[in-house]
Amino acid sequence: MRDVTVDNITDVFTGYFGKDTDPRTREIMISLAQHLHDFTREVNLTHDEWRKGLSMLEHAGRITTPERNEFVLFSDVLGLSSLVDMMHSKPDATSSSVLGPFHVSNPPPLAIGGDMKRDFEGPVLLVEGQVRDTDGNAIPGAQIDIWQTAPNGMYSSQDPDQDIHSFHGLMTADDNGEFCFTTVRPVSYTVPSDGPVGELLEAAGRHPWRPSHLHYIATAPGFRSLVTEVFPDDDPYLDEDTVFGVRKDLVMTYHTRPATEFPDGLALSGSVIEPFLYVKFDLILSIDDDT
């Protein structure tokens, strides 16, 4: 085709597609081109603006490492990660939410009743929960991978002063699907904003803050893995999470309890002398219908 125009370029693109291409790939790529071309025409994109967009992508490529993926961060702050999550969440299960870049592989085992706070300053938070299926049955032995920030707002992989396993733990729920651990109250923090994603936030007049949260990945054979995070209802950024991760069912309430009510049999029993925070939050898994 030598008569390519502003109006027919999408059809020409479609016509160049090979006959034996995978139908789903074809559907996605043609739709992507359609939307990209429509967007370009709609905003009357200039050469300078087009170059700026490409240079942001090029910058993202330059600073992306196995520990920091700027493309995923673009997807997060543009709401794409959350949109995909929400479209594929099961209605009766706990909502999924963004994984983020700070999960570590091979987290250290954390016994039921174990502690992640160690010597870090801040209020003790006692977390209890149960892993259940969508019919309300306990899922014995479910695994819960837990991680969060330190009180300085940094994850272990961002902070040379923490060992890589700090505030990470892998717990196996008991025969009744129950789990329990102590930690320090997580804090609100900012997503990395020293790269092109920071530029985008700045240009949009947006802040880089996320409300404080605990991350979980809950898994059990025969169930869909649940990647999620849970947020306290008193966090100032709850209604303006820069990565759009908050869902109604992921909001929880911390209750302040006197030290005398701290239960026996946990790693910190006997050493809690100030009021502590308590929360119970259950995780509901849906059957894995792909198996």
Using CB under 6 A as the criterion, which residues of the chain lie in contact with ligand BEZ when the complex forms? 73, 76, 98, 100-102, 191, 210, 243
| C-beta of 132 vs 210, nearer to ligand BEZ | 210
Partner touching 247 among Fe ion, ligand BEZ, none, CB below 5 to 8 Å by kind? none
Q: Name which position in 100, 113, 177, 208 contacts Fe ion (CB under 5 A).
A: 100
In angstroms, what is the minimal distance from the CB of 214 to ligand BEZ? Answer: 10
| C-beta of 56 vs 139, nearer to ligand BEZ | 56
Q: What is the dihedral of CA 241, 116, 253, 135, to 10 degrees?
A: 100
Closest residue to Fe ion, based on beta-carbon distance: 100
Contact region with Fe ion (CB under 5 A), list: 19-27, 60-68, 94-102, 218-226: 94-102
In angstroms, what is the minimal distance from the CB of 100 to ligand BEZ? Answer: 3
What's the rounded Cα separation, in Å, for the pair 266 and 90?
34
Q: Rg of the chain's alpha carbons, rounded to an integer?
A: 23
Counting residues that bind Fe ion (by CB under 5 A) gives: 1
Partner touching 283 among Fe ion, ligand BEZ, none, CB below 5 to 8 Å by kind? none
| C-beta of 117 vs 215, nearer to Fe ion | 215
Q: Which residues are paired to 124 by β-bridges?
A: 184
Q: How open is the CA angle 203-207-208, to the nearest 5 degrees?
A: 110
Partner touching 98 among ligand BEZ, Fe ion, none, CB below 5 to 8 Å by kind? ligand BEZ
| C-beta of 216 vs 278, nearer to Fe ion | 216
| Residue in 270, 102, 262 with CA at minimum distance from that of residue 186 | 102
Using the structure block, give the residue that is written with the tokens 């030598």: 2
Note the Cα 84 to chain centre separation in Å.
Answer: 12
Residues of this chain that bind Fe ion (CB under 5 A): 100
